[in-house]
């Protein structure tokens, strides 16, 4: 019993002083960036009805589920796109304008825990709902690049793919099931290796047999040309075999990677069909950044994201407790970060406390 209560549940972790400040500072900077781009912050409940996630693949796979007192099946949210789509379709139903929304949230997904991936994790992200076309996708990608830079990364890459390219290949193969053309079969063989720059799109447009595939490649080309206007094209490349674990994507999709890291830090794409489930069809696109993975990446790269403000230590002698309290309150009103001694000290004891706790400045009320 004692051993159990001293442990945290599988897939969770404690965040200690210093690291907690660094993560919060990162989140604040990212959310401030979202606001500069015109995205309004929203929040949804930590848990939803299981049926809200129905139709999103397997809603129960990896979900933490439980019953309420009326025997409804609830689940801790596994992503934020679905709850935000539900919120827009219900609470914002009469608003026909394009909605730019942002969030920071704790999510829960039961999976094998490893470095940078826990069962409880934090995401910051954005959703643009009601906007179709390459311009909206280009904005989302450009903001994703700016988000990684704001978080502290300099060396990273965003890879773009397209669900309609994959679906077009599958459709063509199904139609030609009796005898798949050699040209199509060759593309399938190369699919995992179709990486490159804008020249890859131009080459593949000459090779594909499906109009659906060609249109997907043309959409990626249009997005890339608009991304150049944002000045982010040097961070972009293409991976035509790219897919994502969430199966609601319908068009462009992307993932972001940092040097030396074997997992994506940021990911998103277009999901035009989700809102139909909630009775309010509209196009949508967005992305999410994993704060836990981002923090680990910066740590491994030796980057100190947070700079703690200078701490002033206020100590006081015997019988001077009230004077010490008043001095600390006055300094805090001036915007200083102050730690007040928890007992009366001699000057020698104060000096020892300063050395042990690495306080840069101090004040002694004797």
Give the tens place of pLDDT for each residue, 123-178: 999 999 999 999 999 999 999 999 999 999 988 999 999 999 999 998 888 887 66
* pLDDT greater than 60 at residue 1: no
Q: Report pTM.
A: 0.90
**pLDDT reported for residue 205:** 94
Comparing 49-53, 109-113, 121-125, 217-221, the range with the smallest average pLDDT is 109-113
Band the pLDDT of 360: cuts 50, 70, 90: confident
234 or 277: which leads in pLDDT: 234
Band the pLDDT of 182: cuts 50, 70, 90: confident
**pLDDT reported for residue 185:** 87
- Helix/strand number for the chain, H first, E second: 11, 15
Q: Where are the strands (E) in the chain, listed by range?
A: 40-41, 47-49, 65-67, 73-76, 99-108, 120-129, 156-162, 195-196, 236-239, 252-258, 266-270, 284-290, 311-316, 337-340, 361-365
Distance CA 94, CA 130 (A): 12
**pLDDT reported for residue 306:** 61
Backbone phi and psi for residue 310, each to the nearest 5 degrees, phi listed first: -60, 135
Per residue in 220-255, pLDDT (tens digit) is 999 999 999 999 999 999 999 998 877 789 999 999
Distance CA 216, CA 205 (A): 9
Q: How confident is the model over 42-68, as a mean pLDDT?
A: 84
Q: How confident is the model over 82-105, as a mean pLDDT?
A: 94
Q: How confident is the model over 169-197, as a mean pLDDT?
A: 86
* pLDDT greater than 60 at residue 49: yes
Please, what is the average pLDDT of the chain?
91
Comparing 56-65, 159-168, 293-302, the range with the smallest average pLDDT is 56-65
Q: What percent of the chain shows pLDDT beyond 70? A: 95
Per residue in 298-317, pLDDT (tens digit) is 888 877 656 667 889 999 99
Distance CA 72, CA 49 (A): 7
Q: Could you tell me the sign of the dihedral formed by the alpha carbons of 256, 242, 84, 105, in that order?
A: negative
Distance CA 23, CA 304 (A): 11
152 or 116: which leads in pLDDT: 152
54 or 163: which leads in pLDDT: 163
Band the pLDDT of 209: cuts 50, 70, 90: confident
Band the pLDDT of 60: cuts 50, 70, 90: low
Q: How confident is the model over 16-33, as a mean pLDDT?
A: 92
**pLDDT reported for residue 66:** 94
**pLDDT reported for residue 349:** 92
CA distances from 354 to 113, 283, 323, 341, 360 (A): 39, 58, 20, 11, 8
Distance CA 214, CA 158 (A): 22
């Amino acid at each position: 019993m004692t051993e159990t209560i001293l442990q945290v549940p599988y897939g969770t972790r404690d965040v200690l002083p210093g690291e907690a400040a660094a993560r919060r500072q990162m989140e604040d900077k990212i959310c401030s960036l979202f606001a500069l781009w015109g995205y309004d912050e929203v929040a949804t409940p930590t848990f939803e009805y299981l049926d809200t996630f129905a139709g999103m693949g397997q809603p129960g796979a990896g979900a933490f589920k439980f019953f309420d007192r009326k025997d409804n099946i609830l689940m801790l949210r596994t992503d934020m796109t679905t709850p935000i789509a539900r919120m827009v379709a219900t609470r914002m139903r009469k608003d026909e304008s394009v909605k730019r929304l942002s969030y920071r949230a704790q999510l829960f997904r039961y999976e094998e825990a490893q470095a940078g991936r826990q069962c409880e994790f934090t995401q910051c992200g954005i959703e643009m709902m009601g906007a179709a076309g390459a311009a909206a996708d280009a904005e989302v990608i450009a903001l994703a690049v700016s988000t990684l830079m704001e978080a502290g990364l300099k060396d990273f890459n965003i890879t773009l793919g397209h669900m309609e390219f994959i679906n077009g290949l599958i459709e063509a193969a199904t139609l030609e099931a009796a005898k798949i053309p050699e040209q199509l079969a060759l593309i399938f063989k190369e699919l995992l290796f179709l990486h490159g720059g804008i020249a890859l799109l131009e080459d593949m447009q000459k090779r594909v047999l499906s109009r659906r595939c060609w249109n997907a490649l043309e959409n990626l080309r249009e997005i890339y040309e608009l991304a150049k206007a944002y000045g982010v094209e040097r961070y972009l490349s293409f991976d035509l075999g790219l897919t994502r674990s969430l199966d609601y994507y319908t068009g462009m999709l992307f993932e972001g990677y940092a040097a030396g890291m074997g997992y994506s830090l940021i990911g998103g794409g277009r999901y035009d069909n989700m809102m139909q489930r909630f009775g309010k069809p509209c196009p949508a696109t967005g992305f999410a950044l994993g704060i836990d993975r981002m923090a680990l990446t910066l740590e491994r790269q030796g980057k100190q994201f947070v700079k703690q403000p200078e701490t002033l230590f206020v100590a006081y002698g015997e019988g001077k407790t009230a004077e010490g309290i008043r001095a600390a309150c006055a300094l805090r009103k001036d915007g200083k970060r102050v730690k007040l001694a928890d007992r009366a000290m001699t000057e020698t004891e104060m000096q020892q406390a300063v050395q042990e706790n690495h306080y840069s400045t101090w004040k002694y009320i004797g």
